[in-house]
Structure 1
């Protein structure tokens, strides 16, 4: 539990890897250069978002493969791969291959559910089976079983000069234990029961009676309750891993123009943090913007943060490369140390 006097164990950030559709290669190279910079700054992890049919990373496993060849130490994660778009067996092959190439540095974060805008894409994604696809959590368990080497074929042996196995190849020892699951209260309990790692984010569902003195739901308290529920259902809570993700923007070395833009960005998103949004009752965390000593004080007071000793602070979607460089540099050189963290 992070607190003053106890250091943060793992510092990372999450990026969408946005790009200009007129020059997508440059955008992907910017992401790879940011990962290299993160390793040089001593970050423990970098996490990649996964967006389909958008101008952001659509193939995080491919990007991690490229990043693995440019780095030697930093852990590479996904937050998250939506498994509704994936065949778990094929994804397991790709993840294991990249994990071996990276020396065991891959942290696959996944989610389930009906793919976003499914009615618009289902005929292309699953032409013959879109009405019968199973988008439940069983898809996660299929992936984990493949990563653990459980049989996926009824045949093992040699035919001519070709040798076949019952399990997915290659196998990368330990990868299945580095699978993360992201979600709300029910998902936290389910992830705990199945011994998965747990990713939190800057959104929760207001599915409890928890509120502030004024009666409004309190994001930090709800997130803390989700983490508590996860740990309460984990078979080995002392070994369980929880990563907290909030939008956190340190401004220590930012220019006056950058500070103004960052605060305007946060202000434009603040209204949605006041009350639950939409039919699911989604509650968003306010973006945190300011000098690192101020941010550290606010984080130490955050009930969710106090329950996780790993963080993956989310970078905003639409900033310029120079902004991201300033933000991650201040994270590593100012905010991390203010939280008791030391660079790797």
Structure 2
């Protein structure tokens, strides 16, 4: 039986990526990090355009995505490598700029750093170790991103340069990677963040979480996310050509075993209640996880108002699955779901 044709999107899917958290066992952390690198290598073999890693501090997930992607850059040749996202509240922007430029050069210009702002999670409990003398003076707002942007883009960070004795000094961050400044992403879930990212010439990462800022419903996730995308592009110098990537949780089941399908459906069902209404004081609204055959998922995505507005995605892998589950999900995504969305694998 022939599959029913899927209605075309307003923007054909141009880039297909995936996002992983890189969980590990505290007793054997190397194995978890190796698993993440193997998944990225698999992604390249399957033709994915990008692989992204999450960032977790004081948890059992990747705490140093730049280091992990440095390793991945030496085990891959084509796939773009991104962070989604580095919370800048934990970082010194100048030092981070040095690391990002170094890895970008080592990767041949494939790095896509995504960042966000705000105080570190559980700041009151961690500030004594993180900022023992400056916690009250730290700027956790957009100014921290501006410092990173300037450093990456080659704006002078000191008024001293030249030769001193046998050493030569630069007034800007070294090494400098010329294209990296155009590949910086902001992970935003609010209208304000979307506009700010556009005004500052960044790319926009959208995810499965948005802020339901209107005090009264109805609250439609796709429509809220669509409003963010349009506000971002309206503020961006590149206008409609400004890059936006969407990161919903997507789990195709075409080649999954009955046991895998049951676990996937249970995982999604347990997370579904949080999608019914805004959650917590921040009024966060979560998108439902998409579980089903590639054809079923494609039909739901083509009906998603925000998906219809983008031509890049980085579908998020679920947090707690096993390595073989990720292999199955990525294989189905590349061989079945991607083509159903009009995508074609890279060389």
Q: TM-score range by the shorter chain?
A: over 0.9
User: Root-mean-square deviation (CA), in Å?
Assistant: 1.2
CA offset at residue 232 of structure 1?
Answer: 1.2
The DSSP-based 3-state class of the residue aligned with 1:17 is: coil
The whole-number CA distance in structure 2 between the counterparts of 1:99 and 1:334 is 31
Match of 1:291 among 276, 293, 301: 293
Q: State the partner residue of 2:207.
A: 201
The whole-number CA distance in structure 1 between the counterparts of 2:215 and 2:195 is 18
Paired residue total? 339
Segments of 5+ residues of structure 2 without an aligned counterpart are 1-6
The DSSP-based 3-state class of the residue aligned with 2:139 is: coil
Segments of 5+ residues of structure 1 without an aligned counterpart are none
1:249–1:290 Cα contact (<8 Å) kept: yes
2:257 counterpart of 1:252: no
Scaled by the length of structure 1, the TM-score of the pair is 0.97
Deviates more, 1:69-78 or 1:224-233: 224-233
1:210–1:222 Cα contact (<8 Å) kept: no
Match of 1:335 among 321, 325, 337: 337
CA offset at residue 295 of structure 1?
Answer: 0.3
* Partner deviation per Cα, 1:58-100 (whole Å, 9 max, x = no partner): 0000001000000000000000000000000000000000000
Q: State the partner residue of 2:197.
A: 191
CA offset at residue 251 of structure 1?
Answer: 0.2
1:201–1:244 Cα contact (<8 Å) kept: yes
- Pairs within 5 Å for 1:156-167: 156-167=161-172
CA offset at residue 149 of structure 1?
Answer: 1.0
The whole-number CA distance in structure 1 between the counterparts of 2:135 and 2:211 is 28
1:209–1:217 Cα contact (<8 Å) kept: no
* Partner deviation per Cα, 1:125-164 (whole Å, 9 max, x = no partner): 0111011100010111100100111111121111111111
The whole-number CA distance in structure 2 between the counterparts of 1:265 and 1:54 is 21
* Partner deviation per Cα, 1:259-295 (whole Å, 9 max, x = no partner): 0000000000000000110001110000000000000
The whole-number CA distance in structure 1 between the counterparts of 2:11 and 2:182 is 26
Q: State the partner residue of 2:224.
A: 222
CA offset at residue 237 of structure 1?
Answer: 1.2
